[in-house]
Structure 1
């Protein structure tokens, strides 16, 4: 079978995976968005279905006042004795914690906090004992991957935190994961920063606590030297073994907007790469240590069909799964029904690191046509936004003030916020249309079937290279204005 990467498209970074019986479960980072930590399942590793989130209650995670790309960092999912555990970091509060559930389709527990610093935590279980790892400083101030033993019921440390591996010397050691394979302990991590220098590294030991011997050909997986290639930023992986004994790595990467255009705005996505163990017990990954946009493999049956969703609508998406809010929303401002969303505006705008009236879905491919019927009552503004963060977003909206009602395009790039184009509307409703390409967005208001151009904007100004941070573009519905109410119908994002 030949499968295509990424296997989960759009802003779903820092994947972690575990297998229980014949099903794989995967979680991703969510940062300032709520609900937190998207949760997926799969039977074949190439087709993933979102089944929930791990953090669905305000009591589980603090997001108020969190800046973009703050909040919930890289999670790990593990299963032990019939129970699922998800451990993560709230980087804004500098707290590591985990939640658990006995029902993967149900609610998760309140957080259990761990008195160990660092980020990107991992849980490892052996012989009834639980061990917690993160990357940071140990109790003696030594940096690296740090480890302690935990009481898994309470989160209490049963041993000091100790640095067990310092990586290979690359910057930003992160994403530690521990495995026991054929009697040896393998410690996998990432270095280079989650950008163009990203890479996966590993070491092994005869003991859980080290010392660890680094793989001689590290990095085991990276696309860092492939200038001019569209797939970059490969790193932050997690290993899993399939039912036939084959090993795989789920990891992040990103797609540049073009072969020689070093910008990415869809976010870091989930990629699947084959892993092969040699007779000496060391493993290799990918095609000569790089990840491809597709792999031809006999590890997956030819009867497996990789499904691609080409159109997302209000009818074929789930408000509770596919869509998300900025930080903790005020539920009274949202009425979400089959085929329709009614949003009540507030004075909080998209330019504020707070919780405006906003609900968004991730953009999953470069080429798309995005449209929605929008009506507005009251004074204010409502429409579609292509949202990277509070300082970088493009808005196509209806705006009503004392001078009348208009369709506008506003470009927000850093400190520059400008209404570039506008056209008067004959009524209080309009179809808004965005045509998306690799390099540009094109904006239109459709009145009585006629498209009125409202300008274009370069995608690069919503990229991580310009905006910074760790997220990707969301297609958002929003409303602003204390006495405004907006109704959204006939939404579609059709990928080409």
Structure 2
């Protein structure tokens, strides 16, 4: 059958995967958004359904006032002796920790911290021992992939942290994952930075602690030389074996906005690439070491159909799964009802690294039509196309002394400008409409059956290349100002991908 990449669209970076019996589970990083570390499951590798989050309580992770692209970095998911473990880094507090659960559909434990630095931690279990790996410096000042043995119940180190591999020469060696395959230990890593030079490399050894021999043809997977191809930034992957013995690599990548337009704003997404082991024990990946936007494969039966959801509404999404908050939310400002949302604004705005009244859903494709009826009694409320506190586009209804008006506001770095307004006089509500393409957002007000254009804004100014950071665009519904109750109401939300 033929499947299309990405298999999980939108801002879901740094995938890690494991298989338990006939079910695959996958998690991604979440940075400053909450709940943290979304969890997906699949039976066929290409159709994924979100089932929860690993970090759902404020006691599990500190996100108060963390900078955008701070907070929860790349996680690893592993299953051992009936228990799931998720290990990650809070990059803001510089702490590596893990949580565990015996029920992946339920709550996870409080964090257990490990006294080893770096980021992108990994757990490897063998013969009653637990090995903890991350990138960084070891106890002797040597940089690379660092390993120690820990006591799994407490996180206590049982051995010094020691560098076991220093990569193939690329910058930003990260994302270590260890596997034992056919008696050999394989250490997978990412190099080159999570940008256009990103790549997957690996090495192998007869011992879990090395020395490791690098794959002679590293990188095993990269799109760095595919200039003009939509799919770029391939790397940071995790291997999994299916029930038929085939190996696959789940990894991140991003889609640039045009053939020669090196901007991306949807974030880093989840891609699937086939892996093949040779008789010599080395493996190759993808099409001549590259990842494609679609693969024809006989590894997945033709009876499997890749489904794609095109329309997202209040009625067909789950507030606890599909939607997210900025940092730890003040729940008293939210009324999440069936088919309706009510918000109470606060003095915290979208322009600061706090927790404004905001609930968002990730943008999943370039071409979309986003609409919502918004009413306001006091303050301001609307739709924001949000990358971070310094880069977002707002379409909102706000109160004025003379009545109400709709505004189009552009926030690009230090420039924050209300570009267009439309007075509503006595009307305090309007249908707000945003049409998205790969290169542009267009903003409208829909009054009765008439669409009134308010302006446009380029997607590039919300891209990672301009804004920086590691996240992607989130379509947010927000309220600001006002303090007399849940002053803003949102109905008939619809995001349709074309």
Global fold match (TM > 0.5): yes
Partner of 2:421: 422
**Conserved in 1, the CA contact under 8 Å of 2:380 and 2:482?**
no
Q: How is 1:368-447 mapped onto 2 (pairs within 5 angstroms)? A: 368-378=368-378, 380-426=379-425, 427-447=427-447
3-state SS, counterpart of residue 30 of structure 1: coil
Q: Distance in 1 between matches of 2:416 and 2:22?
A: 51
- Deviation >6 Å, runs of 4+: none
**Conserved in 1, the CA contact under 8 Å of 2:398 and 2:405?**
yes
Partner of 2:340: 340
Aligned residues: 495
Q: How is 1:41-440 mapped onto 2 (pairs within 5 angstroms)? A: 41-378=41-378, 380-426=379-425, 427-440=427-440
The structural deviation recorded for 1:482 is 3.2
3-state SS, counterpart of residue 69 of structure 1: coil
Q: Distance in 2 between matches of 1:488 and 1:61?
A: 30
The structural deviation recorded for 1:65 is 1.1
The structural deviation recorded for 1:257 is 0.5
Partner of 1:8: 8
Q: Distance in 2 between matches of 1:446 and 1:86?
A: 45
3-state SS, counterpart of residue 425 of structure 1: strand
The structural deviation recorded for 1:402 is 1.8
**Conserved in 1, the CA contact under 8 Å of 2:408 and 2:455?**
yes
The structural deviation recorded for 1:469 is 0.1
Kindly provide the CA deviation profile for residues 13-43 of structure 1, in whole angstroms up to 9, marking residues without a partner as x. Answer: 0000000000000000000000000000000
Q: Distance in 2 between matches of 1:111 and 1:71?
A: 14
Kindly provide the CA deviation profile for residues 319-352 of structure 1, in whole angstroms up to 9, marking residues without a partner as x. Answer: 0000000000001000001100000000110001
Q: Given the two structures, how large is their TM-score scaled by the length of structure 1?
A: 0.99
Partner of 2:496: 494
The structural deviation recorded for 1:483 is 2.3
Kindly provide the CA deviation profile for residues 397-445 of structure 1, in whole angstroms up to 9, marking residues without a partner as x. Answer: 0011224310010000000000011111140010000000011000001
Q: Distance in 2 between matches of 1:317 and 1:258?
A: 30
The structural deviation recorded for 1:128 is 1.1
Kindly provide the CA deviation profile for residues 371-392 of structure 1, in whole angstroms up to 9, marking residues without a partner as x. Answer: 00000012x1100000000000
Kindly provide the CA deviation profile for residues 205-242 of structure 1, in whole angstroms up to 9, marking residues without a partner as x. Answer: 00000000000000000000111111000000000000
Q: Distance in 1 between matches of 2:81 and 2:140?
A: 33
3-state SS, counterpart of residue 365 of structure 1: coil
3-state SS, counterpart of residue 248 of structure 2: strand
3-state SS, counterpart of residue 219 of structure 2: coil
Q: Distance in 1 between matches of 2:420 and 2:236?
A: 41
Kindly provide the CA deviation profile for residues 181-220 of structure 1, in whole angstroms up to 9, marking residues without a partner as x. Answer: 0000000000000000000000000000000000000000
- RMSD of Structure 2 on Structure 1 (CA): 0.6
Q: Distance in 2 between matches of 1:354 and 1:402?
A: 28
The structural deviation recorded for 1:393 is 0.1
* Larger deviation, residues 395-404 vs 293-302: 395-404
3-state SS, counterpart of residue 332 of structure 2: helix
Q: Distance in 1 between matches of 2:227 and 2:411?
A: 30
Q: Distance in 1 between matches of 2:439 and 2:479?
A: 27
Partner of 2:478: 478
3-state SS, counterpart of residue 120 of structure 2: strand
**Conserved in 1, the CA contact under 8 Å of 2:365 and 2:497?**
yes
Q: Distance in 1 between matches of 2:120 and 2:14?
A: 9
Q: Given the two structures, how large is their TM-score scaled by the length of structure 2?
A: 0.99
Q: Distance in 1 between matches of 2:72 and 2:403?
A: 42
3-state SS, counterpart of residue 399 of structure 1: strand
Unpaired segments ≥5 residues, structure 1? none
